[in-house]
Each structure stands twice: as structure tokens, then as C-alpha cells.
């Protein structure tokens, strides 16, 4: 097996670890329900920024002294990293705002269109159309998501602005992944996530300040949940995805992200004793089938060395 094939298999394993960590976010958010939504989002990326900042700054200094040819534009990659952080903040902000206007089911369906937007970005930018296996995987995952959300979608009661905000949340997540691919081609993970998460934290902090939401005085359970959200779901979860972007295509990472509601539901049953409706089980099975199809396609590409 070639070194490239091994790196792609390793990236898949890391991405699955990231999926497990990100799927815990719904549990931590539920436990931190005493905190306003924007404060939860800010705490998530702010804590991750604090964790990576020392390593990111050291990496940035090394890169600034590196004049070797072929490294690409470090300055441009740093600017793209900040842009990716802006998209991440807009994803959180628009998704949270949509939940105030429409049902969770409606929002989930629209945000879950992320793989389609990534594929469209690739087509427009000349990277080509995803393979048939990935297209089938996207279709299965979206079908499963629609089944998961069917009960809420069949009773549409939100306003048009909420639908637009949810759709924008999916577009911003796609842009976040695509921008991350460009930046990670030049920057190490520590430098990229420091700039990305830092930019997101600054924008979300401005949103918190503008809303006047309280940022102190929470009970111990909420504080612990916020710490866990930042350390597990962001430091481990999102960073695992960002690490893989230098090896895996963003459309595959976007497909893996669709596993979050499935595993989140299972974790809710395991940790909180929440029931899993039959429809959720059917939709989850379709999503898991799509994930497996996408993973198998990537493993075949790794084995063939393409």
C-alpha cells in the first residue's frame, strides 16, 4: 500500500473520530440549555481558539520565516482561514436564528443540503462532478434526513425568513469546508484552526454583545457542558474534520457531517434515555447506508492510488 493510500485511510479514521466527537454536541447543548444560543456558540469556538492559539502562533512564526519555493502564498492562506472562520460564525448564527422562526425539522433539512452546495462549488470551480458512488451517498443521506424530519416538515408553520436563514446555514457550512481545503493545502492544522476559530469567536462575540445576552452567572452543570462542548465537539470534532481537509475531498467530509443527527439521537437514548421514534430509525438507517457507501468509495480510491 502506498503512502498516499495509508494517509487517506488514516484521514478516514480521524474523520470518523471527529464524527463521534461532534455527535456529542447535541448532548452538551441540551445540558447547557440555561445559556443563550449565541453564548453557547461563542463558548464553543472561543475555547477551541484558546487551546490552539499557542501552537498556531508558533506554526505561523515558522511559516513566516519559510521562504522555500512551492509553499504557496502563506499570507493568502491565512486570509482564507479568517474567511473560513467568518463562514463558520455565519453558519452558527444563521442556523440558530432559523430555529427561532421555523421548526427544528425544517431547519435540519435545509442545513443538511451542505453536500449539494459543496458539489456545486466543485463543479463551478472546475474540479468536476463527484463520482457516482458519492452522488448515491448524498442522495441516501438526504433521503434519510428528510425521513428523520418528516413529522416537522409536514406541518410547516415557520416564516420565509427562517427558511432562508436555514438554507444560508447550509451554504455557509459548505463554504467553510471549501475554504478550509484551500487553506489546509498550505497551513498546518494548528495555524489554520487558530485563525479560523479565532475569527469565528470574534464575530460571535460581537453578536453576543449586540444581543445583550448574559455571559456569566451560569450554574456548574452549564459551565461543565460548555467546557465539554468546546473541548470535545470543537477541539476534537471539528478539528478532526479540518485536519482531513488536506487529504479528503470536502464533499466527503460534508457527507460524514450528516451522520451527526443519527449518532446524536443514539447518544440521547444512551445518556438521557430519550426514545428513538420508528421514523428516526428508518431515516437513520438510510443515512448510515449513505455514509458507508461514501466511506467504501473513498477506501477503493485509496487502494487504487487514484
Is the pLDDT at 49 greater than 90, yes or no? yes
**Cα distance between residue 174 and residue 138, in whole Å:** 14
Higher pLDDT, 253 or 4: 253
Res. 225 pLDDT band, cuts 50 70 90? very high
Higher pLDDT, 264 or 15: 15
Is the pLDDT at 121 greater than 90, yes or no? no
In this predicted model, what pLDDT tens digit does every residue of 62-88 receive, in sequence order? 877 765 555 558 888 899 999 999 999
Is the pLDDT at 193 greater than 60, yes or no? yes
Query: Given this model, what pLDDT does residue 3 score?
Result: 53
Q: What sign does the CA torsion over 189, 52, 112, 126 have?
A: negative
Q: Lowest-confidence range among 8-17, 18-27, 101-110, 220-229?
A: 101-110
127 secondary structure, DSSP code: S
Query: Given this model, what pLDDT does residue 2 score?
Result: 53
Mean pLDDT of the region 142-150: 76
Burial of 241 (0-12, 13-18, 19+ CB in 10 A): buried
Query: Given this model, what pLDDT does residue 151 score?
Result: 57
Amino acid at each position: 500500500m502506498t503512502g498516499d493510500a495509508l494517509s487517506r485511510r488514516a484521514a478516514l479514521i480521524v474523520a470518523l473520530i471527529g464524527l463521534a466527537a461532534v455527535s456529542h454536541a447535541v448532548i452538551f447543548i441540551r445540558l447547557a440549555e440555561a445559556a443563550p444560543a449565541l453564548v453557547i456558540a461563542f463558548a464553543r469556538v472561543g475555547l477551541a481558539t484558546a487551546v490552539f492559539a499557542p501552537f498556531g502562533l508558533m506554526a505561523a512564526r515558522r511559516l513566516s520565516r519559510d521562504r522555500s519555493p512551492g509553499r504557496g502564498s502563506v499570507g493568502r492562506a491565512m486570509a482564507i482561514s479568517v474567511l473560513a472562520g467568518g463562514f463558520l460564525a455565519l453558519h452558527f448564527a444563521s442556523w440558530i436564528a432559523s430555529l427561532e422562526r421555523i421548526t427544528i425539522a425544517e431547519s435540519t433539512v435545509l442545513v443538511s443540503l451542505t453536500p449539494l452546495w459543496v458539489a456545486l462549488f466543485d463543479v463551478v470551480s472546475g474540479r468536476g462532478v463527484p463520482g457516482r458512488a458519492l452522488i448515491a451517498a448524498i442522495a441516501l443521506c438526504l433521503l434519510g434526513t428528510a425521513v428523520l424530519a418528516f413529522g416537522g416538515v409536514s406541518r410547516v408553520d415557520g416564516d420565509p425568513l427562517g427558511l432562508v436563514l436555514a438554507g444560508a446555514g447550509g451554504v455557509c457550512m459548505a463554504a467553510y469546508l471549501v475554504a478550509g481545503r484551500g487553506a489546509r493545502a498550505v497551513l498546518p492544522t494548528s495555524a489554520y484552526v487558530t485563525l479560523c476559530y479565532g475569527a469565528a469567536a470574534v464575530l460571535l462575540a460581537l453578536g453576543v454583545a449586540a444581543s445583550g445576552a448574559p455571559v456569566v452567572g451560569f450554574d456548574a452543570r452549564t459551565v461543565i457542558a460548555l467546557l465539554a462542548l468546546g473541548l470535545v465537539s470543537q477541539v476534537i470534532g471539528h478539528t478532526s474534520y479540518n485536519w482531513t481537509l488536506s487529504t479528503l475531498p470536502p464533499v466527503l467530509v460534508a457527507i460524514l457531517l450528516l451522520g451527526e443527527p443519527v449518532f446524536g439521537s443514539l447518544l440521547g437514548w444512551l445518556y438521557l434515555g430519550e426514545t428513538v421514534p420508528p421514523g428516526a430509525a428508518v431515516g437513520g438507517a438510510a443515512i448510515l447506508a449513505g455514509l458507508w457507501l461514501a466511506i467504501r468509495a473513498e477506501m477503493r480510491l485509496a487502494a487504487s492510488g487514484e
